[in-house]
Structure 1
Amino acid sequence: MIVSKTIAIIGSGFSSLAAACYLAQSGHKVTVYEKNTSIGGRARQLKRDGFTFDMGPSWYWMPDVFDRFFADFGKKTTDYYELIKLSPAYRVYFGINQFISIADNLPEIVATFESIEKGSGAVLEQFMAEARSNYEIAIKDLVYRPGVSPLELITLETAKKVGQFFSNISRDVRKKFKNEKLIQILEFPVLFLGAKPSDTPSFYSFMNYADFGLGTWHPKTGMFDVVRGMESLATELGVQFVTNAAIEKISVENKIAKGIVVNGKTIYSDVVLSGADYHHTETLLEKQYRVYSEKYWDSRVFAPSSLLFYVGFNKKIENISHHALFFDTDFNQHAKDIYDTSKWPVEPLFYANFPSVTDPTAAPEGMESAFFLIPLAPGIEDTEALREEYFHKIMDRFELLTQQEVRKNIIFKQSFCKNDFVQDYNSYKGNAYGMANTLLQTAFLRPKLKSKKVNNLFFTGQLTVPGPGVPPALISGKLVSELINKQFSKA
């Protein structure tokens, strides 16, 4: 039996929403406090002049993880939102009107590979069989462990794959494929984990199965549909939400969390759970209660920050797909600029998203909504002048590669970069995706879900286990709720 407690949750991103649902289901009294005017954390929505944008996550991968989340409450995803499978899943541009379309099924993708590099189709099938095996081990088992002990990683299945933890994605892919375009397509999915392919263990090829095997989906009117769905479920379970609630301090007495100070007012609770930035959350504590030092945070490998542009066009854009990757410049050099030298990339790769291709409500009739994203080093200098310079850099290439002029059709554009990540999300160094999943930052080697210095203080989200991404955030919320319930259960 679980003893009911009052729980204050800081932040309303995916991990906080998931934790709120699980904890309320267990009988706790749960209130979520969000500093911004709307919930969703980085997955907020921007509406302007008839255009609608997801401000953060835009890829719906691993649908089984979302299904598993809602099933835990006797629900289905379809009870809350509708999914569309994208076909093609995405395009990757390498030159003027030169692109590779990734189909919505593996047989067609195999045929595409074979048409580009003879013999690569059969090799891809073998690679994907291994990736699927890794996915089943990771998603059905490993990622649902709380990162408490290294023994969590040791199972009969992982013992057979131990070598994959000491090799890397880049090395493996390059052994199997020779065509640089195919290599880049296979290296792309692990960028969601926040590190270079050469620093990402081979076992994470399960991301390739998430890509080619499970496909790319889109909630009917955007990723915010998922936020709305989770909010609706949470409300059904009795969760309360408070917005415009900036947390100024976590109250601690006798090494026990006693509540939070919100807008100058102390709110008492039995448990404090933070889904906000982990580093920032510890600054809300007096120094003696912080587990991780500034030196520790500075030594971590963080996922990139991003320069984003939300753009409204007064016409339909040609030669594009819902998701488009622009890999017409040096992939490895851009990665070095992010991870090794921490400077603005000279010729950045970039990503473009056109939700109105799939969702007519994303833009007024006959118009197009788009956002463009450039991955950047965290902690980088961020000025309006640099933002503008880089907008024109990528638009020069976009217009060239898709053979059309579009800048004169821009009704508005709004940028979002490192300074905004710090301002809006208290994000450490303005990172966009959390802490990278490198070998030395995996599972039990990540910051802990439970504070070692303050009782009844817990953490969830992308800086703890399992790591970056929306599906891992849902899992993180489940893991921390289980730890909390374990602490407050009695025979």
Structure 2
Amino acid sequence: MKISIIGSGFSSLAASCYLAKKGYDVTIFEKNTTIGGRARQLKKEGFTFDIGPTWYWMPDVFERFFSDFGKIPSDYYQLEKLNPAYSVYFGVDDYITIEDTIEKILIAFEIEEKGSSIKLQKFIDTAKSNYDIAIKDLVYNPGVSPLELVTFQTAKKVNQFFSNIKRDVRKEFKNDRLAKILEFPVLFLGAKPSDTPSFYSFMNYADFGMGTFHPKNGMYEVILAIACLAKELGVTIKTDSPIEKIIIDNGQAKGIISKGETILSDIVLSGADYHHTETLVDKTYRQYSENYWSKKTFAPSSLLFYVGFDKKLINVNHHTLFFDVDFDIHAEAIYDNPKWPENPLFYASFPSKTDVNSAPEGQEAGIFLIPLAPGLEDTPELREAYFEKIMTRFETLTSQKIKNHIIFKESFCINDFIKDYNSYKGNAYGMANTLTQTAFLRPKLKSKKVKNLFFTGQLTVPGPGVPPSLISGKLVADLITKHHSL
């Protein structure tokens, strides 16, 4: 049985492995010249940058994926646990460093605010309990029925679906700086802490309880690893192969058209942007209207810069967050009143702090990210203005001059997300995990209108992020296997 998969991001690659293992004849079609979807790589003048994800969290999800094939991650790539995991700037030379164990983090909290370590331990205990329920069990459900969420364990935590992270954190932690650090991990889920159910505190356990890792040579190594596994299992991967249309005959997917060529398939699985995929079928076969998509809460887009510096930078860690401006005002510019934020928070990653292969000797690779509302105007002038803004602040906050040490910079923003990934409104992380966009309330893995058409990735179940994308690939492969046993 032939399966055509559209896109080669984490979810598509994961799904291809599970399907090939079951004996299906699987071919992946990728529109770009390299695989990886949002997790591609940029190499320039001896520097190497991850274009997309830079955080490796939830190592157990990666381990579980590889173990399904009798493998372990270290068969393919080397992992290093970062210490410190990251630091957060609140002002000039004023930062809090998050180290690599909960014991060290408890001490850092206690130094910042007396008595806070006891509260933090209690908070993390709850977060771990949620993690055990969510990541070991709940997220491996296909989002078909509301009953998936009803278990003995979730029944005891039902109130956590109706409170939110911000309320819980602020109730316990009066120190604004500590509260911001605890609210930060849920930003990976694509919504404001005030719109994210309390149950998602499991992200805090992923952060403090499990730690932050770095695959040697960057996140792209993980893409190459899964692609290698896929090929070992017999998957064919074709790059430079954009899809023009999904062929439907009598309500049934029959194949795809790529570069004018018809490729007949028994099943079509799309890991491309969900909204875009639906534009590849005639209107009558679309499950969700433009109105539906326009009302959804999308995760932010981003303005990204990939910068080569001709010297080593000081006063920064591999991952460094800049929270020296008002988070709520920036969040408002993303979610409530979409516009370019006047004073944006930003994040910076310096992989060459850990990985000698990221930059030539004595130099530094820097990735800078500003979260933005999707769908904003994106011009070279705006990009330049914001680069200047964050570089000026960066110099002040970290007490060093860097502008005249820039060898080059490349940028990536809303227009690029649309052009390279057909991303709805140029979003970077898919659809946010709010209460009304959780589990069975997300767009479905299986088309309700077209037989043999399936979806995977950040806009469907279970949600945004790299580990959920791997899980999404497994879930859709299980669904396909269930409906089409060989």
Category of TM-score, reference length = shorter chain: over 0.9
Match among 262, 265, 268 for residue 261 of structure 2:
265
Note the C-alpha offset of 1:488.
Answer: 1.2
Distance in 1, Cα, partners of 2:471 & 2:207: 19
1:188 is the counterpart of 2:184: yes
1:157 is the counterpart of 2:153: yes
Distance in 1, Cα, partners of 2:154 & 2:359: 47
Match among 44, 50, 54 for residue 54 of structure 1:
50
Match among 182, 200, 204 for residue 204 of structure 1:
200
1:160-185 deviations in whole A, cap 9, x for unaligned? 00000000000000010010000000
Counterpart residue number, 1:251: 247
Q: What are the within-5 Å matches in structure 2 for residues 14-29 of structure 1?
A: 14-29=10-25
1:248-292 deviations in whole A, cap 9, x for unaligned? 000000100000000011100000000000000000000000000
Distance in 2, Cα, partners of 1:69 & 1:89: 24
Q: 1:49 is aligned with what amino acid? A: E
Q: 2:277 is aligned with what amino acid? A: T
Match among 322, 334, 340 for residue 338 of structure 1:
334
| Structure 2 counterpart SS, 1:191 | helix
Note the C-alpha offset of 1:127.
Answer: 0.4
Note the C-alpha offset of 1:489.
Answer: 2.0
Q: What are the within-5 Å matches in structure 2 for residues 49-198 of structure 1?
A: 49-198=45-194
Match among 286, 301, 307 for residue 303 of structure 2:
307
Q: 2:381 is aligned with what amino acid? A: A
% identity of equivalent residues: 70
Distance in 2, Cα, partners of 1:160 & 1:361: 48
Match among 438, 441, 453 for residue 437 of structure 2:
441
1:11-53 deviations in whole A, cap 9, x for unaligned? 0000000000000000000000000000000000000111000
Moved over 6 A (4+): none
Q: 1:425 is aligned with what amino acid? A: Y
| Structure 2 counterpart SS, 1:140 | coil
1:355 is the counterpart of 2:348: no
For the aligned residue pairs, the C-alpha RMSD in angstroms reads: 0.5
Q: 1:344 is aligned with what amino acid? A: W
Distance in 1, Cα, partners of 2:394 & 2:116: 30
| Structure 1 counterpart SS, 2:135 | helix
1:438-489 deviations in whole A, cap 9, x for unaligned? 0000000000000011000000000000000000000000000000000112
1:403 is the counterpart of 2:399: yes
| Structure 2 counterpart SS, 1:228 | helix
1:474 is the counterpart of 2:461: no
1:67-126 deviations in whole A, cap 9, x for unaligned? 000000000001010100000000000111111000100011001101111110001000
Q: 1:127 is aligned with what amino acid? A: F
Q: 2:202 is aligned with what amino acid? A: F
Distance in 1, Cα, partners of 2:355 & 2:110: 32
Distance in 2, Cα, partners of 1:189 & 1:334: 16
Distance in 1, Cα, partners of 2:283 & 2:95: 53
1:10 is the counterpart of 2:6: yes
Distance in 2, Cα, partners of 1:340 & 1:489: 46
Match among 383, 389, 393 for residue 389 of structure 2:
393
1:463 is the counterpart of 2:459: yes
Is there any run of 5+ residues in structure 2 with no aligned partner, and where? none
Is there any run of 5+ residues in structure 1 with no aligned partner, and where? none
1:288-338 deviations in whole A, cap 9, x for unaligned? 000000000000000000000000001111111000000000011100110
Counterpart residue number, 2:271: 275
Q: 1:96 is aligned with what amino acid? A: V
Counterpart residue number, 2:409: 413
Distance in 2, Cα, partners of 1:242 & 1:463: 23
Distance in 1, Cα, partners of 2:407 & 2:179: 37
1:195-224 deviations in whole A, cap 9, x for unaligned? 000000000000000000000000011001
Q: 1:138 is aligned with what amino acid? A: A
Counterpart residue number, 1:373: 369
Q: 1:288 is aligned with what amino acid? A: T
Distance in 1, Cα, partners of 2:434 & 2:50: 28
